[in-house]
Structure 1
């Protein structure tokens, strides 16, 4: 699925198809200066200098502009400070700069394996958000590391991405600001809660925690990047999109977030509605482009003008047809523990963007503005935005980042795309049920046993019910977990003596369908009585819903009741079967599958067309099911997961887990709860404790940089001593010297070095002094620039 992007609109007028108005004005000014100072050669020298300034443009910028920018940079503050939090309201925060802020959190949505209509539906939801609102907002996608050391399973860390829509309002009164922020956040939440996306307006402690995560207090800026005063990954580099290709694939921003990099990546999307003034400007530019096109005689210039004309016509036509236009800018921040890590992360970002045909730029001398552009607490000062249709801007779809970590969940496997652990918390879903399907020996029972062991470690007060019709698969695990086994042939009346109970049959070869159906109803009644979380595993579920290759209505109804009626009772069911064809043979069976949030497909011998159609499996996915590894000859198995994430899982146990399954050894209760990232400090205030990512203070209060970053040798050390003072201090000495020279010329009759043109000797002395001041200041600026270049991080 592709989106069309217009090119950047060039509104400059060019003389002889080459020089802009600014080029001409600078050349005329230099010619006049040459005529006034040194006739007859002066005007020619000025004209030549003007042409050089127009033609020699390193990195696409004029030399005189670079000099002005350099001077502005030297005179500007090397720090950016965030406003402090004044007070919290109902779902909004007030800062000391007068702005009121609100935040809406948006869930990730893995669209990689979704059918085209579903992908389009999710894109249209974001397009409606981008183009349907009449105020400015930002979308911040921020990566963080999640500690999984206490979560049993392969891998100690994983990378998660949080998505926040940030709204800032400056109102005449605080009450009005709170009201406006609330209305806007509610509108954004309602818009984004559609298709596969979910949005939530943050309030209370959760809002404070997220603000603290985004907060950096102050940043020390240089041309090469900036360093924040607190938080992990303090060294940061940034880049922005300077020009888009003609077409972009859906989820191109998510591709950057999904790429493996040494550090962490943040993405900031800035969206503003197009004003009526900009629409009038586009009309004028279109008319002028048409006129220039008819007068142009250079083929390459004609091609550029023709494309700009077509892009402008497309934009104006889209706006007239009802598709709103937006000012859209995208900024990327690479975060690292030191300069090298941040630089390598930025190279990864730029590499992914270059493969997509995206041109990027760096702030350079405007890094102060760049820091404010990526901050949630400032306005976009860099203003690197383009006018694009809302549907084109929605193609970025950062929400498609591989967010495979749900706080408080268990490791269910590793994502084959990036080898990151997939952590799911089924009790946080709307319906925490899972269907596990695969042929005999595919690994489905092994995976189910792993989830039992890991769930016992993760969840407190967990009740487990295992219905084991084959009698042989779960006995060792339940015994190792100090559970009990109930033979249903002897009745179900006795009370449970353990929070882990396995129900099995005396003789699996007999027809136990009716007894198993009654056991399902019994388990549902027992689980409904407790306030604890309950995990129900039904192995070989086809033995309950079918009898003699016919649908067994009583068993089907029992399973249906368990699945449908337990949605609000913290009961999560795992239905294990060899194939889903038993379910899709009846309407009631299909309804059971529709109430299941997660489906795991292990290796299949054949996939019926009814199953393929029901789960919307593509031909490629159906073929992939027959090629999944089963683990019989390998130390891992594979499965396709559809639901909270859509990917191929690699399922592997740790050595203690494998020993448990092989020998039934007791003990795996040593693990604690998953380490949850919960920022707790307030922006603008000192933080304490161990920081995980974002706005917390780490144990080591000093910036973690390499030794090479702090050492300076040779000439750099001399510059460090010579240019340690600011430019202003130098000017305090220089300007009094200038006036002293003038006074000295009048008192002592001091003569100039060389009389200049028609000026009197005394006037020439003043000009000598003025030129000396200008030359000295230029040399000083160049010295400062060289020093900064030699010592930049």
Structure 2
């Protein structure tokens, strides 16, 4: 009997990391492999990106304006029709009774408890290790994999659902790039990649390598003695063997049996074959050897199933560095059906669907220079929040007097910052009587304290926007009240959005940095200046720093761009599009 521990991994974004940060991820993944005394199987499974569950979520949720709702659904439908795919990453570890000295045919309750205990030990060890990196790993019931990814189909035989073809990796280049499977997962089609990794006994591995070394030396000497001078290939293999022996002797690396199986699948034979040919071309370009198991296709498909033991055993000896280079957890995925679409991933067009009320705290900060698109994006979120959360209450603190028309379109009420209403309707805007006056700042701080008291007594979902927040962050009392509100607002389902021209308005203060640490979501639009305090506090990579200067705005393109970060969930460069109705309501 075999029981499986199953883990789902939320990916990270290697492309926005520095070389040093990416190396750290590689080292962390290598450590996961090195500490395991059991098999670890990694599956990257692709499926069509379906926004239908999200569309069902939005169904009958229109309020205030039907055309706004219909336009947003058309936008979702367009994204759904663009043949996008999403990748889900899983790790399984099989525990077999016979492999642990038990009689598989006689499984009493004590034996089952032992199996379950071992499954729990392994999954806990893996999740603890991965959650210390820029990843999020969660244990899931193995039954979820069984229902989602069972019954793989053989080559060109339809089950009424799809067609499949498979490849086995047979040879690797001497140096594997970190996260090399990503190049395969980006083929135009649906690709599944299974990496099966099993620790090898070091002593037996050294003995095997020594025998291979003797054989290579003998063959080289024989060829030289016979007058053949072309021994470069043999000498290259000998160098590789010496390198492995040296790493194992110094305990710098561990040895693994490593197998990679790849499967393309599609609804019809033509699409399946097209993806298969692209896959082969990409493997050739990467210098990776492969073969198609023509007479063992059904067995290869089983190897791509998370709840099947490997029937092929087409493994190769790999050391820790090479096995860890197969890091696949760097794709975009959608694993929820609620929230709003904040934009589209710049790389592959995947919609960035996030429900901020499911974050560990529902707060978000937007930063960007004047004209970068941050206020426009804030208004998009307000319009979509009305659709996604019909019961939501919206409150806007508006020192620029730019939101009152939008609030009016939502049948809301506009006040001055001096007003102190005890009860608020569905949408409320507080604006200044005259822009730019310094005396407005104490009044705005007093207003924030009042709204803090009002929302703390209200358990309905509330979305608060504080625009020009740098005016408040520059005053000690303002920072203190904001920090207290943000820290305690989660308990009352209040989501706070701070909008400011630069994150440096907060990072230059200790209280400001503490405040930002309470906000999981960050959106960076184009900046005129990126301070060292910002780089250090947000751990911005060199690429991200460059991007902040070059991000497109709505004035120089048909969309604006931003870098969006959500702690433990998302790190992406996004494009921001508005629907025609959203654009009209925002620009009126």
* TM-score normalized by the length of structure 2: 0.86
3-state SS, counterpart of residue 353 of structure 1? helix
3-state SS, counterpart of residue 399 of structure 1? coil
Partner of 2:411 in structure 1?
A: 482
Mean alpha-carbon deviation: is it higher for 610-619 or for 114-123?
Answer: 610-619
Partner of 1:100 in structure 2?
A: 3
Alpha-carbon offset, residue 482 of structure 1: 2.7
Alignment partner of 2:387 out of 433, 457, 461: 457
Asked if 1:649 is matched to 2:574, the reply is yes
Partner of 1:212 in structure 2?
A: 147
Describe how 1:48-67 pairs up with structure 2 within 5 A: none
Partner of 1:563 in structure 2?
A: 486
Unpaired runs of at least 5, structure 2: 59-71, 98-103
Alpha-carbon offset, residue 566 of structure 1: 3.5
3-state SS, counterpart of residue 156 of structure 1? helix
Alignment partner of 1:600 out of 506, 512, 523: 523
Maintained 8 Å contact 1:260/1:418: no
Maintained 8 Å contact 1:405/1:424: no
Alpha-carbon offset, residue 489 of structure 1: 0.8
Alpha-carbon offset, residue 453 of structure 1: 1.3
Q: Residue deviations 1:226-273, cap 9 Å, x none?
A: 54636x5x111111221111112211112322x251x31111110111
Moved >4 Å (runs of 4+): 298-301
Cα distance in 2 between the residues matched to 1:378 and 1:616: 41
Alpha-carbon offset, residue 619 of structure 1: 5.0
Alignment partner of 1:627 out of 545, 550, 556: 550
Partner of 1:762 in structure 2?
A: none
Alpha-carbon offset, residue 540 of structure 1: 0.6
Partner of 1:698 in structure 2?
A: none
Which protein shows a greater Rg? Answer: 1
Asked if 1:289 is matched to 2:216, the reply is yes
Partner of 1:164 in structure 2?
A: 90
Asked if 1:306 is matched to 2:241, the reply is no
Describe how 1:696-715 pairs up with structure 2 within 5 A: none
Describe how 1:318-357 pairs up with structure 2 within 5 A: 318-322=247-251, 323-357=253-287
Partner of 1:384 in structure 2?
A: 314
Mean alpha-carbon deviation: is it higher for 416-425 or for 526-535?
Answer: 526-535
Alignment partner of 2:207 out of 280, 303, 322: 280
Alpha-carbon offset, residue 460 of structure 1: 4.7
Partner of 1:254 in structure 2?
A: 182
Maintained 8 Å contact 1:111/1:646: no
Partner of 2:61 in structure 1?
A: none
Maintained 8 Å contact 1:132/1:324: no
Describe how 1:407-418 pairs up with structure 2 within 5 A: 407-418=337-348
Alpha-carbon offset, residue 179 of structure 1: 2.6
Asked if 1:374 is matched to 2:304, the reply is yes
* TM-score normalized by the length of structure 1: 0.65
Mean alpha-carbon deviation: is it higher for 595-604 or for 448-457?
Answer: 595-604
Maintained 8 Å contact 1:140/1:267: yes
Maintained 8 Å contact 2:420/2:450: no
Partner of 1:443 in structure 2?
A: 373
Q: 1:295 to 1:523 in 2, by over 3 A?
A: farther
Cα distance in 2 between the residues matched to 1:162 and 1:486: 47
Asked if 1:181 is matched to 2:84, the reply is no
Asked if 1:139 is matched to 2:77, the reply is no
Asked if 1:508 is matched to 2:435, the reply is yes
3-state SS, counterpart of residue 248 of structure 1? coil
Partner of 1:537 in structure 2?
A: 465
Alpha-carbon offset, residue 565 of structure 1: 3.3
Unpaired runs of at least 5, structure 1: 1-97, 547-551, 664-793
Cα distance in 1 between the residues matched to 2:146 and 2:576: 36
Maintained 8 Å contact 1:435/1:596: yes
Maintained 8 Å contact 2:145/2:307: no
Partner of 1:575 in structure 2?
A: 498
Q: Residue deviations 1:163-191, cap 9 Å, x none?
A: 11112222132343323222222222222
3-state SS, counterpart of residue 325 of structure 2? helix
3-state SS, counterpart of residue 431 of structure 1? coil
3-state SS, counterpart of residue 375 of structure 2? helix
